[in-house]
């Protein structure tokens, strides 16, 4: 690379992206109307083809045709594609990670971690291919057997967000493929190059093991391209990851055609810190959860609810660590906080901080823009704001690194405050008191899909089901029994007797 890390140039970053894509086996298609930007400089790397309505229809059609063949391939054999994908991802982990950095602005360690998460879910899905278990229940009728079987569902439409441009696709695709489904993917219009790379690797994996490459289709473009998946009856499940606004637009449309929706929407994640907490450990967990990925994770810690007796000590440590965070080019290994994705994200942060201060908030540190990367690149210092109350701006998700700090005296009030937001994705408690920890995890504790003890809100493992409640949408992806969303269940009753007894003891004629 000819550019320096302190003075990155868009043309050099494009040359690097083109090299990486070539090494990943992907060809840069003819230019089109869809810009591929880099948040590192804010410049446009290249432009790509945006799919037309007819092309999207044709892609759904190919996926529907492929489904008719794929659903009868034995599940362990379907897993061969996923196994090969995992091998390719392992070989190309660092390359794909660097592409994620170039396009989404994540620091190297987090970008490679995201690719590792893809490999992890592939391994999970391979094992799952031999565990798509149904239940057998005792029948109330003599000479009868009652059981459930799970069958492939159909075409899965995957709409994904910019901030996890590759892992969320893998969560859906690895599981959907072993479940016997085919996939049509509409990635974020902000990250089309990483999407192209993933699609190429998956197609190659299919070809290498002699499977039908048509099981995966990529459609690129903006929300209008995604809207075709939403409206199409051939799409059995729409798995949509993004903002609450997007979920509000798509969910009623899918429901109107009786399709299934799996929604992974915005979060507004909180952590409670009690007086018995290990303050050093809590501070470390809080800094990663709140400032990591420049506050652009769905699970980013946005609200800190601290006991009055602990707030001074804790804030001193967290603010001290914030001052030491290096903000800058995410290609530089010493940097911990990369850029915001674009100017809109920066506007959102600026306006939220203004509102918080108008509400009586006190800026503890951060919030300012870091210059030196060009007018179109948006780097900020992560902000901490002490709030007198959980006002409207605190109850909203601002997709930027702002940590609001609230205090409490009574533990029940802290839980009430924690739950008093519309979103319900991730949550945490830092405490040394087992009763408080258990209470946080109990039915009247955190109301989120993820509730952690003595670790932050972000950085989930793939083994558990991932997702959240309330405005986060209620979906579950990734591990545990999330696979059930990608299959249809049939209840079967088999009569192996020569009688025809009816259920509930009904006599009919
Ligand atoms: P976004 O809602 O702007 O876009 C997400 C995707 O939805 C994009 O592919 C976009 O083109 C598509 N889209 C938007 N409107 C649509 C419509 N009407 N019809 C069809 N498709 C449409 O979100 P973003 O800015 O890319 O990502 C950030 C948001 O995503 C945050 O709110 C974050 O919390 C959320 N997120 C949630 C999870 C989760 O698992 N819960 C994971 C990652 C991101």
* The pLDDT of residue 380: 98
* The pLDDT of residue 509: 83
Q: How far is the centre of ligand 1, averaged over its atoms, from the C-alpha of 169 (Å)? A: 13
Q: What angle do CA 277, 281, 284 make, to 5 degrees?
A: 130
Nearest atom (ligand 1) to Cα of 266: 34
Rounded CA-CA distance 145/156 in Å is: 32
Reported as a single tens digit per residue, the pLDDT across 278-296 is 999 999 999 999 999 999 9
Rounded CA-CA distance 448/141 in Å is: 42
Helix extents (H) in 420-455: 434-441
Identify the bridge partners of residue 47 per DSSP, sorted by sequence position.
Answer: 35
Closest Cα to atom 19, ligand 1: which residue? 227
179 classed as catalytic:
no
Please choose, from the candidates 96, 110, 40, the residue with its C-alpha nearest in 3D space to the C-alpha of residue 300: 110
Please answer whether residues 382 and 349 qualify as being in contact, where contact means their C-beta atoms are separated by less than 8 angstroms: no
Please answer whether residues 440 and 337 qualify as being in contact, where contact means their C-beta atoms are separated by less than 8 angstroms: no
* The pLDDT of residue 229: 96
Helix extents (H) in 188-297: 192-208, 223-231, 244-256, 279-291
Rounded CA-CA distance 38/200 in Å is: 21
Reported as a single tens digit per residue, the pLDDT across 105-124 is 999 999 999 999 999 999 99
Please answer whether residues 181 and 485 qualify as being in contact, where contact means their C-beta atoms are separated by less than 8 angstroms: no
Please answer whether residues 308 and 3 qualify as being in contact, where contact means their C-beta atoms are separated by less than 8 angstroms: no
Q: How far is the centre of ligand 1, averaged over its atoms, from the C-alpha of 333 (Å)? A: 28
Closest Cα to atom 35, ligand 1: which residue? 242
Reported as a single tens digit per residue, the pLDDT across 312-328 is 999 999 999 999 999 99
Q: Is the pLDDT of residue 351 over 50?
A: yes
CATH superfamily of the domain spanning 10-265+473-489: Aldehyde Dehydrogenase; Chain A, domain 1 (3.40.605.10)
Q: Where are the domains of the chain?
A: 10-265+473-489, 269-461
pTM for the model: 0.97
Q: Is the pLDDT of residue 1 over 70?
A: no
Other Cβ atoms less than 10 A from the Cβ of 252: the count is 11
Exposure letters 326-335 (e unless 16+ CB within 10 A, then b): ebbbbbbeeb
Please choose, from the candidates 433, 421, 418, 410, the residue with its C-alpha nearest in 3D space to the C-alpha of residue 307: 410
Identify the bridge partners of residue 370 per DSSP, sorted by sequence position.
Answer: 379
Nearest atom (ligand 1) to Cα of 229: 20
Of 298, 397, 436, 448, which residue is the catalytic one?
298
Q: Is the pLDDT of residue 469 over 70?
A: yes
pLDDT > 70 in the chain, percent: 99
Based on DSSP, count helices (H) and strands (E) in the chain, helices before strands.
Answer: 15, 23
Q: What is the mean pLDDT of residues 365-384?
A: 96
* The pLDDT of residue 3: 54
Rounded CA-CA distance 419/427 in Å is: 9
Rounded CA-CA distance 300/83 in Å is: 31
Strand ordering across the sheet containing 235-241: 216-218, 182-186, 155-159, 235-241, 260-264
- φ/ψ (deg, to 5) at 403: -110, 115
* The pLDDT of residue 453: 98
Rounded CA-CA distance 111/99 in Å is: 8
Q: How far is the centre of ligand 1, averaged over its atoms, from the C-alpha of 223 (Å)? A: 9
Reported as a single tens digit per residue, the pLDDT across 440-462 is 999 999 999 999 999 999 989 99
Rounded CA-CA distance 234/312 in Å is: 57
Q: Is the pLDDT of residue 30 over 80?
A: no
**What secondary structure does DSSP assign to 8-38, as a single string?**
--HHHHHHHHHHHHHHTTPPPPPP-SEEEE-
pLDDT band with cut points at 50, 70 and 90 for residue 31:
confident
Nearest atom (ligand 1) to Cα of 299: 34
CATH of 269-461, one of 3.40.309.10, 3.40.50.2300, 3.40.50.300, 3.40.50.150: 3.40.309.10
Please choose, from the candidates 456, 292, 294, the residue with its C-alpha nearest in 3D space to the C-alpha of residue 367: 294
Of 264, 397, 436, 477, which residue is the catalytic one?
264
Do the domains 269-461 and 10-265+473-489 match in fold?
no
* The pLDDT of residue 2: 46
Ligand 1 binding site (Cβ under 6 Å of any ligand atom)? 159-164, 186, 188-189, 222-223, 226-227, 230, 241-243, 246, 249-250, 264-267, 298, 397, 399, 425, 472
Using the structure block, give the residue that is written with the tokens 């969560």: 171
């Amino acid at each position: 690379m000819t550019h320096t890390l302190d003075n990155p140039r868009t043309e050099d970053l494009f040359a690097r992206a083109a090299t990486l894509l070539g090494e990943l086996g992907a060809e840069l298609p003819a230019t089109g109307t869809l810009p591929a930007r880099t948040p590192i400089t804010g410049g446009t790397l290249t432009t790509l083809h945006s799919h037309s309505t007819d092309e999207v229809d044709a892609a759904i059609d190919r996926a529907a045709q492929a489904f008719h063949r794929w659903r009868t391939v034995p599940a362990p054999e379907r897993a061969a594609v996923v196994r090969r994908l995992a091998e390719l991802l392992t070989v190309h982990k660092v390359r794909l990670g660097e592409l994620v950095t170039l396009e989404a602005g994540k620091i190297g360690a987090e970008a490679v971690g995201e690719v590792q998460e893809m490999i992890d879910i592939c391994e999970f899905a391979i094992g799952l291919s031999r565990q798509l278990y149904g239940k057998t229940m005792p029948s109330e009728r003599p000479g009868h057997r009652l059981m459930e079987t799970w069958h492939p569902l159909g075409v899965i439409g995957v709409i994904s967000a910019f901030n996890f441009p590759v892992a969320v696709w893998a969560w859906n695709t690895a599981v959907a493929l072993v479940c016997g489904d085919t996939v049509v993917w509409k990635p974020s219009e902000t990250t089309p190059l990483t999407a192209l790379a993933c699609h190429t690797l998956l197609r190659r994996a299919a070809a290498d093991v002699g499977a039908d490459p048509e099981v995966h289709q990529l459609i690129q473009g903006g929300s209008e391209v995604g809207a075709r998946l939403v409206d199409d009856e051939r799409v059995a499940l729409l798995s949509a990851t993004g903002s609450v606004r997007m979920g509000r637009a798509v969910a009623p449309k899918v429901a109107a055609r009786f399709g299934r929706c799996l929604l992974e929407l915005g979060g507004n994640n909180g952590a409670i810190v009690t007086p018995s907490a290990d303050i050093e450990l809590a501070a470390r967990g809080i800094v990663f959860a709140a400032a990591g990925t420049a506050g652009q994770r769905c699970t980013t810690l946005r609200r800190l609810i601290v006991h009055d007796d602990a707030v001074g000590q804790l804030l001193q440590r967290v603010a001290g660590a914030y001052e030491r965070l290096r903000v800058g080019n995410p290609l530089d290994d010493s940097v911990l906080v990369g850029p915001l994705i674009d100017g809109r994200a920066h506007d959102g942060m600026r306006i939220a901080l203004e509102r918080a201060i108008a509400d009586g908030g006190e800026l503890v540190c951060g919030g300012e823009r870091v210059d030196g990367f060009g007018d179109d690149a948006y780097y900020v210092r992560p902000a901490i704001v002490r709030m007198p109350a959980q006002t409207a701006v605190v109850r909203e998700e601002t997709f930027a690194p702002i940590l609001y700090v609230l205090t409490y005296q009574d533990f029940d009030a802290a839980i009430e405050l924690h739950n008093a937001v519309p979103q319900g994705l991730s949550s945490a408690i830092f405490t040394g008191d087992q009763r408080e920890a258990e209470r946080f995890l109990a039915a009247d504790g955190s109301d989120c899909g993820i509730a952690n003890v003595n670790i932050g809100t972000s950085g989930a493992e793939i083994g558990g089901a991932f997702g959240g409640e309330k405005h986060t949408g209620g979906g579950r992806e990734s591990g545990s029994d999330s696979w059930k969303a990608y299959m249809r269940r049939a209840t079967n009753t088999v009569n192996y007797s020569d009688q025809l007894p009816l259920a509930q003891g009904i006599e009919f004629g």
